[in-house]
């Protein structure tokens, strides 16, 4: 198949969250399965052209598109995804992308991504490269399915299908209603509550959901959740009307960086057959946080953005009493919300032997925490997919999670399903529920045989991108069939 993969973030060029990781990995693995993929990305000024060996494409220079009734020029730079043959085409517009930030609150934020999407079609036309599928990701590229259906299917793209993947429904690209009139769509509809109206405004994501041949998200449970009022953020009705065209595919993890046997960022690599070595990493981790190493209390790790989404407001009311009980220790790495940062900081001040806290972003420490902790805590209120619970399972670190999104799809509770269990799961978003789950985990920690069994089961999980890429290929085929109907 020929796949045009459009994204606003892609590792190693630019990343603010999980979308960047997926975009850096999925096209590579689909390419590896013998398909032809081209990635399209804006050329933000934060991307260093020399470092990434990008070259200016003369053949595609001087192109323009019509935006809000005027011509807008752009140019194209070429690169490759590292360790692959996948072409990456960077759309450059001095007007729109030479800014200090990737996403902005500027008045023309809508136009930045309108230009990007119009430019993608213009380039495809110019190259005469007609993809079987256009894969759009999140709001910045969610109008591609709309443009395809209303404008380009009447041209050379009559056999091209579209897939829209929602990585986090919290970001919807909502602007003034005039946004949609900045592109020229034949037969445009502006009826109330139609695809181009969202609570009196215009949402890129809603329009994309209405027009994509297949809509997907990053875990099966999140695919069901976003059809409900609790999780849909006002888009639940739009999603529900797409019925069984809405699917969930779990993200993979990159096991060239997240593999305890070959991880260069941990002092003592290990695998399922040498789990004793994990305790050496625990000692190193405790030392790093200046916590005592002369006993064997279970050590709970946290690595997270500190935002409401991640559920640490459930931990706040019980943290002090847990620490006072003294039968576990915490190491915390994260940054974000000022209040939560202070909650952890003052706990570390009051209980210096019980909890170590590092406020900030630290890639190498995050690997040591995965390798050295016994338990990993993710009490998220919502979690489209989540990566850290998968890293934890691969590192023999037992996850304690709330049953939501990708956490529900990857962690199986010990007391509910002992034969398949790999961790501990709680349901209601309440501090007492979280406390009970932590206590259940701690009370099992001394049962060495059981703990090993849980660890080994987790380490045997398959979260490879090869598996996820195969699922995306099925989605692409489904989209092609759907587009013919
Ligand atoms: P989200 O994308 O919602 O933040 P994910 O679990 O999907 O959550 O991915 C988060 C990624 O960011 C993980 O790889 C995690 O290890 C990493 N991460 C988050 N906070 C930090 C931090 N403070 N330092 C290092 N890595 C972090």
Q: Is the CB of 336 under 6 A from ligand 1?
A: no
Q: Is the CB of 18 under 6 A from ligand 1?
A: yes
pTM of the entire predicted model: 0.94
- For atom 26 of ligand 1, the residue with the nearest CA is 363
Q: Which residues lie across from 78 on neighbouring strands?
A: 55, 89
Q: Is the CB of 477 under 6 A from ligand 1?
A: no
Q: What is the distance between the alpha carbons of residues 9 and 20, in angstroms, rounded to a whole number?
A: 5
Question: Side-chain half-sphere of 71: how many Cα atoms within 13 Å?
Answer: 6
Per-residue pLDDT of the chain (485 residues; tens, 9 = 90+): 999 999 999 999 999 888 999 999 999 999 999 999 999 999 999 999 999 999 999 999 899 999 999 999 999 999 999 999 999 999 999 999 999 999 999 999 999 999 999 999 999 999 999 999 999 999 999 999 999 999 999 889 999 999 999 999 999 999 999 999 999 887 655 666 689 999 999 999 999 999 999 999 999 999 999 999 999 999 999 999 998 889 999 999 988 889 999 999 999 999 999 999 999 999 999 999 999 999 999 999 999 999 999 999 999 999 999 999 999 999 999 999 999 999 999 999 999 999 999 999 999 999 999 999 999 999 999 999 999 999 999 999 999 999 999 999 999 999 999 999 999 999 999 999 999 999 999 999 999 999 999 999 999 999 999 999 999 999 999 999 999 98
Q: Which of 303, 341, 358, 397 to mutate to test the pocket of ligand 1 (most atoms within 8 A of CB)?
A: 303
Q: Is the CB of 335 under 6 A from ligand 1?
A: yes
The backbone torsions φ and ψ at residue 378, rounded to the nearest 5 degrees and listed phi first, read -135, 90
Atom of ligand 1 nearest to the CA of 363: 25
Q: Is the CB of 387 under 6 A from ligand 1?
A: yes
Q: Is the CB of 384 under 6 A from ligand 1?
A: no
Q: Is the CB of 39 under 6 A from ligand 1?
A: no
DSSP string for residues in 207-261: HHHHH-SEEEESSHHHHHHTTSHHHHTT-HHHHHTTGGGEEE------TTTS-TT
Token pair listed for 379? 């009490």
Q: How far is CA 380 from CA 299, 308, 408, in A?
A: 19, 8, 11
Atom of ligand 1 nearest to the CA of 388: 6
Q: Is the CB of 80 under 6 A from ligand 1?
A: no
The domain ranges of the chain are: 2-252+466-483, 275-462
- The pLDDT value recorded for residue 191 is 60
Q: How far is CA 446 from CA 281, 298, 400, 425, 440, in A?
A: 19, 9, 16, 19, 12
Q: How far apart are the CA of 367 and the centre of ligand 1, in A? A: 11
Domain 2-252+466-483 and domain 275-462, same fold? Reply is yes
- For atom 22 of ligand 1, the residue with the nearest CA is 361
Q: Is the CB of 301 under 6 A from ligand 1?
A: no
Q: Is the CB of 333 under 6 A from ligand 1?
A: yes
Q: How far apart are the CA of 481 and the centre of ligand 1, in A? A: 36
Indicate the CATH number of 2-252+466-483 among 3.60.20.10, 3.40.50.150, 3.90.550.10, 3.40.50.2000: 3.40.50.2000
Question: Per CATH, which fold does 275-462 belong to?
Answer: Rossmann fold (3.40.50)
Q: What is the distance between the alpha carbons of residues 23 and 135, in angstroms, rounded to a whole number?
A: 11
Token pair listed for 227? 């059809």
């Amino acid at each position: 198949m020929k796949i045009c993969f459009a994204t606003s973030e892609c590792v190693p060029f630019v990343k603010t969250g999980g979308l960047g990781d997926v975009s850096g990995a999925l096209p590579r693995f689909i390419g590896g399965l013998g398909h032809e993929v081209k990635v399209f990305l804006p050329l933000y000024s934060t991307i260093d052209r020399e470092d990434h060996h990008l070259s200016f494409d003369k053949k595609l220079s001087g192109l323009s598109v019509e935006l809000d009734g005027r011509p807008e020029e752009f140019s194209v730079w070429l690169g490759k995804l590292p360790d692959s043959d996948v072409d990456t085409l960077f759309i450059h517009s001095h007007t729109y992308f030479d800014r200090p930030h990737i996403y902005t609150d500027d008045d023309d934020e809508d136009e930045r991504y309108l230009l990007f999407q119009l430019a993608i079609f213009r380039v495809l036309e110019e190259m005469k490269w007609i993809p079987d599928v256009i894969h759009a990701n999140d709001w910045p590229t969610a109008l591609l399915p709309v443009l395809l259906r209303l404008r380009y299917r009447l041209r050379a793209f009559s056999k091209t299908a579209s897939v829209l993947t929602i990585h986090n429904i919290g970001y919807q690209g909502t602007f003034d209603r005039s946004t949609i009139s900045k592109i020229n769509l034949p037969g445009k509809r502006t009826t109330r509550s139609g695809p181009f109206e969202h609570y009196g405004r215009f949402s890129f994501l809603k329009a994309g959901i209405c027009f994509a041949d297949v809509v997907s998200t990053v875990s099966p449970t999140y695919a069901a959740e976003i059809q409900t009022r609790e999780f849909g953020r006002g888009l639940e009705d739009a999603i529900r009307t797409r019925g069984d065209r809405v699917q969930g595919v779990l993200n993979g993890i990159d096991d060239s960086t997240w593999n305890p046997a070959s991880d260069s960022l941990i002092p003592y690599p290990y695998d399922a057959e040498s789990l004793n070595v994990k305790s050496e990493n625990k000692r190193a981790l405790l030392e790093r946080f200046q916590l005592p190493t002369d006993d064997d209390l279970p050590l709970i790790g946290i690595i997270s953005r500190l935002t409401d989404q991640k559920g640490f407001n459930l931990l706040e009311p019980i943290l002090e009493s847990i620490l006072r009980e003294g039968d576990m220790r915490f190491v915390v790495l994260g940054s974000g919300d000022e209040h939560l940062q202070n909650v952890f900081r003052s706990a570390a001040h009051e209980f210096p032997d019980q909890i170590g806290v590092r406020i900030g972003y630290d890639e190498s420490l995050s690997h040591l925490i995965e390798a050295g902790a016994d338990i990993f805590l993710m009490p998220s209120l919502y979690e489209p997919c989540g990566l850290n619970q998968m890293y934890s399972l691969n590192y023999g670190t037992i996850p304690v999670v709330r049953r939501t999104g990708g956490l529900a799809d990857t962690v199986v509770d010990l007391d509910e399903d002992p034969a398949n269990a790999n961790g501990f799961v709680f349901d209601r978003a309440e501090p007492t529920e979280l406390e009970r789950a932590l206590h259940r985990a701690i009370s099992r920690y001394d049962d060495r045989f059981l703990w090993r069994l849980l660890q080994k089961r987790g380490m045997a999980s398959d979260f490879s991108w090869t598996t996820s890429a195969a699922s995306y290929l099925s989605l692409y085929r489904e989209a092609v069939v759907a587009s013919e109907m």
